[in-house]
C-alpha cells in the first residue's frame, strides 16, 4: 500500500510562489504521480502529472506557471507554483498509481479514477 504525505501548503498573496512536496512510501518506485486540486462544491481538477521517464502534463489553467518534478532517490514529488492567482486557492492532493501514466485526449488530461493512492491534502490559499 503506497502512502503519500504532502507538505508545503499555506497562504500567499497573488503573484507569489509556493512549493508543494509529497513523499511516497511503500513504493517499488514505478509510479505515475501527479497533483489534483479541489474547491468545495466543484469537481476535482487534474493539475499536473509526471511519468517515470520525466514526461509531464499540465492543466491548461496552470501551464507556464506550475512545474512538476520528482526526486526518485528521495521518492519525493514536487509542485512549484509561481505567479499564483486567487483562482488557485484549493486543497491540493498528491496522487499515485503503480503503472504507467494514462492521459486522455489531445490535452493529455489526467483523471481522478486513474489513481488509487491519494494523500491527505494540503491547503493553498491565495489572496489579493
**Running DSSP on this structure, what letter comes out for residue 127?**
E
Confidence of residue 124 (pLDDT cuts 50, 70, 90): very high
Q: Given this model, what pLDDT does residue 34 score? A: 97
> Chain-wide mean pLDDT for the chain?
94
pLDDT tens sequence across 47-79: 999 998 899 999 999 999 999 999 988 899 999
| Strand-pair partners of 46 | 36
Residues 6+ apart with CB under 8 A from 46: 34, 35, 36, 59, 109, 110, 111, 112
Phi, psi dihedral angles at 3 (to 5 degrees): -115, 140
Cβ contact 52:42 at 8 Å: no
Residue 46 has pLDDT above 90, yes or no: yes
Phi, psi dihedral angles at 94 (to 5 degrees): -85, 140
Residues 6+ apart with CB under 8 A from 43: none
Confidence of residue 105 (pLDDT cuts 50, 70, 90): confident
Confidence of residue 117 (pLDDT cuts 50, 70, 90): very high
User: What is the DSSP code string of 39-88?
Assistant: -TTS--EEEEEE-TTS-EEE-TTTTTTEEEEEEGGGTEEEEEE-S--GGG
Confidence of residue 27 (pLDDT cuts 50, 70, 90): confident
Amino acid at each position: 500500500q503506497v502512502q503519500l504525505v504532502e507538505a508545503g501548503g499555506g497562504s500567499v498573496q497573488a503573484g507569489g510562489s509556493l512549493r508543494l512536496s509529497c513523499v511516497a512510501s511503500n513504493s517499488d518506485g514505478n509510479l505515475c504521480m501527479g497533483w489534483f486540486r479541489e474547491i468545495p462544491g466543484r469537481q476535482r481538477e487534474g493539475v499536473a502529472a509526471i511519468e517515470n521517464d520525466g514526461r509531464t502534463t499540465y492543466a491548461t489553467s496552470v501551464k507556464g506557471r506550475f512545474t512538476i518534478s520528482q526526486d526518485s532517490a528521495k521518492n519525493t514529488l514536487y509542485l512549484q507554483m509561481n505567479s499564483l492567482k486567487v483562482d488557485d486557492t484549493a486543497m491540493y492532493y498528491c496522487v499515485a498509481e503503480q503503472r504507467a501514466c494514462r492521459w486522455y485526449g489531445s490535452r493529455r488530461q489526467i483523471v481522478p479514477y486513474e489513481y488509487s493512492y491519494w494523500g491527505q491534502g494540503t491547503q493553498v490559499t491565495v489572496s489579493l
